[in-house]
Structure 1
Amino acid sequence: MNFTTGIVLPTTLALAAAAAITNLWLSIRIGALRQKHKVSVGDGGNEAIQRRMRAQLNFAENTFLVLVLVAAIELSGHGGWWLPLVALAYAVGRILHGLGMDGGKLQWGRMVGTLVTMLTLVGLAGVAAWLAFQYS
């Protein structure tokens, strides 16, 4: 395919696709519990539903910022080989967080996902700030 008519951001596109699928997966997990516990709207006071809802909201709260930072860095031409690895680590971290929010044997995934998210945000923000300083 020839993409000479526009700018292509492969890392951003891949992360956005992964984020869309992850968000759908998180939503389906909530729906499954709502159906199981016969809760039509909200969480019905059910802690398991609350945990899954919070996992999805936490995902949405952080993923937008990560996508913006990845896109900005990629647009600047400074993404390089490391940016797809950061995006992949973030995507895996968010899946682990979603699973870990259920508690049980995978509870450790919550902390790992949280740590990966924080490190990703700090690292990407640092790179973006450095690039902004370089261009000012």
Structure 2
Amino acid sequence: MDQPAYAAASLYAALNALILVWLTLATARVRRKHMVLIGDGGVARLGRTMRGHANAIENIPVMLVLLGFGAALGAPAIAIHVLGAAFTFGRAVHAWHFTHEQAAQWQRATGFGLSVVTLAAAAIGVLGQAVLLL
């Protein structure tokens, strides 16, 4: 068992969980401001914040599963750190974009780009490790 790789995967799980907490609180804050309990109530700002939160929910769990399996299959801790750090930075920049009413487009593009590239790299890496161990 590669304890440093598991520790690295755990670090990025915790950091990404904090990003989800941030997005949850941001969504709740906009809901409270506009007194919307369900859906977006036709409030564009709430729809934007909810979409950022939903995007994180769609992507973060998959990456964390891949990091965990990568560690379990013997990926070196440095690989987990490189992928985890780039993904987490991407998710934080993406969240920043969606939690602010006026945000630069580069934030969304950078966050999306880092998320997709690292997700694909992790998937290919885990697939390769799994095939080699079959």
**Matching residue of 1:3:** none
**Matching residue of 1:123:** 121
Q: Deviations over 1:18-49 (max 9, x none)?
A: 12111110011111111111212221111111
- Partner of residue 108 from structure 1, selected from 98, 103, 106: 106
- Partner of residue 73 from structure 2, selected from 67, 73, 76: 76
Question: Looking at CA atoms only, which structure, 1 or 2, has the larger radius of gyration?
Answer: 1
**TM-score, structure 1 normalization:** 0.87
Q: Note the C-alpha offset of 1:13.
A: 1.0
- CA RMSD between the two structures: 1.7
Instruction: After the TM superposition, list the runs of 4 or more consecutive aligned residues in structure 1 that deviate by more than 3 angstroms.
Output: none
Q: Note the C-alpha offset of 1:106.
A: 3.0
Q: Note the C-alpha offset of 1:103.
A: 5.5
Query: Which residue identity is paired with 1:125?
Result: A
**Matching residue of 1:13:** 10
Structure 2 spans left out of the alignment, 5+ residues: none
Q: Which has the higher contact order (CA 8 A, sep 6+)?
A: 2
Count of paired positions:
131
Identity of aligned residues (%): 27
Query: Which residue identity is paired with 2:110?
Result: V
Query: Which residue identity is paired with 1:46?
Result: V
